[in-house]
Amino acid sequence: MDYSFDGSGGYRVPTGVAGLDVQLGGGVPPGTTILLLAEPGAGMEVFAHQFAYGGLVNHEDVFYFSSEHPLSEVISGMDYFNWNVRKHLEEGKFDFTDAYSPRFYNVLPKHLVSDVSAKDFLKRGTDSLNLLKGTVTQARTRKYRGVVDSISYFLRSYELNNVLNVIEIISSMGKATGAVHLLMMTSGMHEPIIENNMKHICDGVIEFRMKERGSEVERSILLRKMRGMIVPNRTISYVITTKGVELETTTRVL
């Protein structure tokens, strides 16, 4: 059976993952800051790309802040699933901030960075956390959603309290504008107290899990919490297909 929000209703923002939206009664509340916690190989990047493209389909602008991948990798990953964002990028509806490449400008051979854009070149030496803060507080006139890929980089590179302060700013921006933000974090990489701080400060927590069973790998989603909603009390199986992350129609305890 499907597990859906059984409260008073209200507008929901679709995530772009149809099966997940069904489980959530249509999507997530406006202004929600979601922590996506997943181990490597669980499909975290696929979900993030699907979430971003879902925003464009929903007539939202999208900002995608990446400290882990350059723009070319993100576009290539989205192309695989036929989520073409080039037109949206040219129109300014898909705003990509590359906080990855500038970190290596001074160590890579010059011929490898000769074709970087002037915009990215100016980011050399820019503090990544301040760049994130500037991105999330940028004035936007249309409804939008945001992706941060990933918070794990900042947790490795900065003091915890400094990172939490920026996440509080992200959350405040969401509540003020109605924008939904997705923060990606790799599970098992950080101390439990750090993970718990992240789970506490975010409005929603979605965990992607993997388990080996015989010769197969089974994947499941745990909706740990979602502000203002009753979430399923079971894990939900999912698969990754050419359409992206797809939730199975039945749920079971794994």
Domains annotated on the chain, with CATH = 30-42+51-210 (3.40.50.300)
**What was the pLDDT predicted at 114?**
52
205 CA to centre of own chain: 11
Write the DSSP symbol of residue 140. Answer: -
Report pLDDT digits (tens) over 100-159: 988 776 666 665 555 555 455 445 557 999 999 999 999 999 999 999 999 999 999 999
Packing angle, helices 192-201 and 160-177, rounded to 10 = 20
Quote the pTM value.
0.90
Amino acid at 242: T
Q: How many beta carbons lie within 10 A of that of residue 24, not counting itself? A: 26
**What was the pLDDT predicted at 113?**
54
Cβ 154 vs Cβ 167: under 8 Å = no
**C-alpha span between 249 and 208 (Å, rounded):** 17
**What was the pLDDT predicted at 78?**
98
Handedness of CA 29, 30, 35, 38 (dihedral sign): positive
What's the farthest any 2 CA atoms get from each other in the chain?
Answer: 59
How far is CA 208 from each of CA 69, 91, 139, 141, 196, rounded to the nearest angstrom? 20, 33, 32, 33, 16
**What was the pLDDT predicted at 101?**
84
Write the DSSP symbol of residue 143. Answer: -
**In the chain, which residues have pLDDT < 70?**
1-9, 105-125, 249-254
Length reported for the chain: 254
Grouping H, G, I as helix, E, B as strand and the rest as coil, residue 238 is: strand
